[in-house]
């Protein structure tokens, strides 16, 4: 059975009586069960079918929510009441959440169906989805390649059409980078736009729940639903959420391009040329392009790794084997309960980051590293605000290359540099989106990124829609 | 700052982690690389810059301290690795000897 890529078309098909929601649900479940890419960790089969039946009746009675017809997979670090959630880590093996994340509740309220949970790098730490307790995810475009990470399962599931949309989380690029590698849309909201209640914490001043989908409309719609005030997250903005519908572009746009990003040494030449070609096309249509200086390119990833590991080392101290999750069998007293549980329960990458985090926070080094990075964070934020003063968006690549081979990158610092173009938005707290408008001669897709000012989601989706109409090739 | 065995064992103690000799070497090597990487920040003059600490623009979203979404005792215990009736069970904390 053919399932359309957008919710609008799915709803049309259902209204016309061409198919039922139960049929669509069964088709997705079958696809998931047949898939060999390891994107889904668990399918909520029975309850998805049950909900499909109920929501079908609501559609027939014309009283369904705005997400009726949508099947959504959630990254394995987002809580769903009475369902397992493990952050793809042994330390949470078997853990069942006792509440739903606010984003999940909002989706359920609008009749979206949560179809299952998706593989990711352990505690969302990684850029390749190779560091999961459940094994690596394969890129649906080429099974020898990584899907990117950390939300690799969420990106791969959309590329393989295993559901209509997915939620991921983006701390340093974990939604946009895999979106680029898998050829789908990946969007990170403004920091504080979406409640983090029920998102397993990694770096609390960076984390945001993000969206993967095939169309800008669906991305916009889910963002509209999950955004907004929440009494369970004191960092969430109380500002009104953006509109349900995307306005069509009325005026010429002003686009800024950070020159250093375009001239980055390790940027693949074809990706650079595609960007230049897009820029030329936009110019010819009368849009304004401005080349900008961004002198901090070498400092964004170091700043990110100081601050995010510091926050992670603190956030992950709760995994102590005492009250929930895994406990080592070698737990004989309080110290051995902590040490053995954590040493057996965490993978190497998580341990590396906890160690670095504790180093930059330890006495004697706190000011030299942690405070220093917070100061650089301010410099980057101020410079970026200035770059966006006269521009609607900044445009640059999402990733320096297309997806690399599974097992290819072993050095942690080389892996961290995969985030070179994506961490910028997290450091400043800005909304950004990766659009699948690049195709490499090596047959792999790549994304182009748009970033704008805080809470300018409406503008971002408006321009994204225009960019997809102009540059996306199926 | 050089990462040696003492630094690793101090950090491991702070992190409540244990490493065998091979892991120690690996983590020591990785941390040295990571430190070299983050040391690049020293190129920048930050003397008169205020650290950026809070990412949200709004200050203090207050709410009433009301009870809701209560977990029963049984529910709160479902994820405990070892329990004893209505308690979380842990290995003894104090050693008499």
Give per-residue pLDDT as tens, A356-384. Answer: 999 999 999 999 999 999 999 999 999 99
pLDDT at B1 (0 to 100)? 67
User: From the candidates A6, A13, A51, A75, which is the catalytic residue?
Assistant: A75
Considering only CA atoms, give the Rg of chain B: 23
Q: How many domains does chain A have?
A: 1
Residue A296 lies in a domain: no
Does residue B10 have a pLDDT over 80? yes
Distance CA A159, CA A186 (A): 11
pLDDT at B49 (0 to 100)? 97
Residue A343 lies in a domain: no
How does residue B69 score in pLDDT terms, banded at 50, 70 and 90? confident
β-strand pairing of A185-188 with A208-213:
antiparallel
pTM higher than the cut 0.95: yes
**Nearest chain A residue (CA) to B30:** A412
Q: Which structural domain range is residue A58 located in?
A: 1-254+395-474
> Using CB atoms and an 8 Å cut-off, which of residues 49-88 of chain B contact chain A?
49-58, 60-61, 63, 69, 71, 75-76, 78-82, 88
Cα of A183 vs its chain's centroid, Å: 14
Distance CA A301, CA A303 (A): 5
Contacts of B12 in chain A (CB under 8 A): 355
Residue A349 lies in a domain: no
| Domain extents in chain B | 5-41
Instruction: Provide the β-strand partners of residue B90.
Output: none
Residue A305 lies in a domain: no
Reply yes or no on whether A150 is catalytic. yes
Structure token digits, residue B80 = 């405990």
Residues of chain A falling short of pLDDT 70:
none
- The minimum CA-CA distance between A258 and chain B, rounded to whole Å, is 19
β-strand pairing of A432-439 with A185-188:
antiparallel
pLDDT at A113 (0 to 100)? 98
Burial of B32 (0-12, 13-18, 19+ CB in 10 A): middle
The answer, for B46 touching chain A at a CB cutoff of 8 Å, is: yes
Average pLDDT, chain A: 97
**Nearest chain B residue (CA) to A194:** B56
How does residue B15 score in pLDDT terms, banded at 50, 70 and 90? very high
Contacts of B86 in chain A (CB under 8 A): none
pLDDT at B96 (0 to 100)? 66
A121-152 confidence digits (pLDDT tens):
999 999 999 999 999 999 999 999 999 999 99
Nearest to A310 by CA among B34, B30, B46: B34
Residue A317 lies in a domain: no
pLDDT at B81 (0 to 100)? 94
Burial of A246 (0-12, 13-18, 19+ CB in 10 A): buried
Could B69 and A99 be called an inter-chain contact, meaning their C-beta atoms sit closer than 8 Å?
yes
- Cis peptide upstream of residue A150 (ω within 30 degrees of 0): yes
Residue A415 lies in a domain: yes
ipTM, two decimals: 0.95
CATH class of B5-41: mainly alpha
Could A365 and B61 be called an inter-chain contact, meaning their C-beta atoms sit closer than 8 Å?
no
Q: Are A291 and A257 in contact (CB under 8 A)?
A: yes
Q: Are A117 and A74 in contact (CB under 8 A)?
A: yes
- The minimum CA-CA distance between B44 and chain A, rounded to whole Å, is 8
User: From the candidates A100, A150, A154, A308, which is the catalytic residue?
Assistant: A150
Does residue B97 have a pLDDT over 70? no
Q: Which of A233-242, B30-39, B86-95 has the lowest mean pLDDT?
A: B86-95
């Amino acid at each position: 059975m053919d399932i359309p890529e957008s919710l609008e078309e799915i709803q049309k098909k259902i209204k016309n009586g061409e198919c039922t929601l139960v049929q669509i649900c069964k088709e997705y479940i079958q696809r998931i069960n047949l898939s060999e890419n390891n994107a889904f960790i668990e399918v909520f089969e029975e309850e998805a079918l049950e909900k499909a039946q109920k929501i079908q009746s609501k559609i027939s009675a014309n009283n369904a929510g705005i997400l009726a017809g949508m099947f959504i997979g959630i990254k394995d670090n987002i809580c769903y009441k009475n369902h397992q959630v493990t952050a793809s880590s042994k330390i949470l093996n078997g853990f069942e959440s006792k509440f739903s994340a606010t984003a999940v509740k909002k989706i359920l309220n609008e009749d979206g169906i949560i179809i299952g949970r998706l593989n990711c790098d352990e505690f969302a730490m990684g850029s390749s989805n190779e560091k999961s307790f459940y094994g690596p995810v394969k890129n649906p475009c080429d099974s020898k390649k990584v899907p990117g990470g950390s939300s690799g399962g969420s990106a791969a599931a959309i590329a393989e059409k295993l559901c209509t949309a997915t939620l991921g989380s983006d701390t340093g690029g974990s939604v946009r980078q895999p979106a680029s590698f898998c050829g789908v849309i990946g969007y990170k909201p403004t920091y504080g736009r979406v409640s983090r209640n029920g998102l397993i914490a990694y770096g609390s001043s960076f984390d945001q729940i993000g969206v993967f989908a095939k169309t800008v409309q669906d991305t916009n719609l889910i963002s509209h639903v999950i955004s907004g005030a929440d009494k369970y997250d004191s960092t969430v903005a109380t500002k009104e959420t953006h509109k349900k519908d995307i306005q069509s572009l009325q005026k010429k746009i002003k686009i800024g391009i950070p020159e250093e990003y375009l001239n980055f040494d390790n940027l693949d030449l074809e990706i650079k040329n595609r960007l230049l070609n897009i820029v030329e096309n936009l110019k010819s249509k009368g849009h304004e392009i401005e080349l900008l200086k961004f002198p901090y390119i070498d400092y964004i990833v170091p700043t990110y790794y100081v601050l995010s590991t510091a926050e992670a080392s603190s956030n992950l101290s709760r995994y102590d084997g005492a009250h929930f999750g895994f406990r080592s069998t070698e737990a004989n007293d309080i110290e051995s309960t902590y040490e053995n549980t954590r040493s057996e329960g965490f993978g190497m990458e998580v341990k590396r980051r906890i160690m670095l985090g504790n180093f930059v926070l330890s006495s004697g080094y706190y000011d030299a590293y942690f405070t220093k990075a917070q100061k650089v964070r301010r410099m980057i934020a101020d410079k970026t605000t200035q770059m966006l003063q006269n521009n609607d968006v900044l445009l640059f690549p999402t990733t320096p290359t297309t997806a690399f081979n599974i097992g290819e990158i072993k050095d942690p610092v080389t892996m961290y540099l995969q985030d070179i173009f994506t961490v910028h938005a997290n450091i400043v707290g800005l909304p950004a989106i990766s659009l699948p408008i690049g195709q490499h001669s090596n047959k792999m897709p790549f994304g182009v990124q748009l970033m704008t000012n805080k809470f300018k989601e409406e503008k971002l989706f408006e321009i994204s829609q225009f960019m997809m109409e102009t540059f996306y090739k199926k | 700052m050089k990462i040696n065995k003492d630094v690793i064992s101090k950090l491991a103690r702070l992190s409540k982690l244990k490493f065998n000799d091979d892991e120690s070497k690996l983590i020591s090597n990785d941390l040295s690389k990571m430190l070299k990487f983050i040391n690049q920040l020293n190129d920048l003059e930050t003397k008169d810059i205020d650290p950026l600490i809070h990412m949200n623009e709004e200050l203090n979203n207050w709410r009433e301290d009301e009870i809701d979404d209560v977990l029963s005792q049984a529910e709160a215990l479902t994820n405990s690795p070892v329990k004893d009736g209505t308690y979380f069970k842990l290995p003894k904390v104090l050693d008499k000897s």
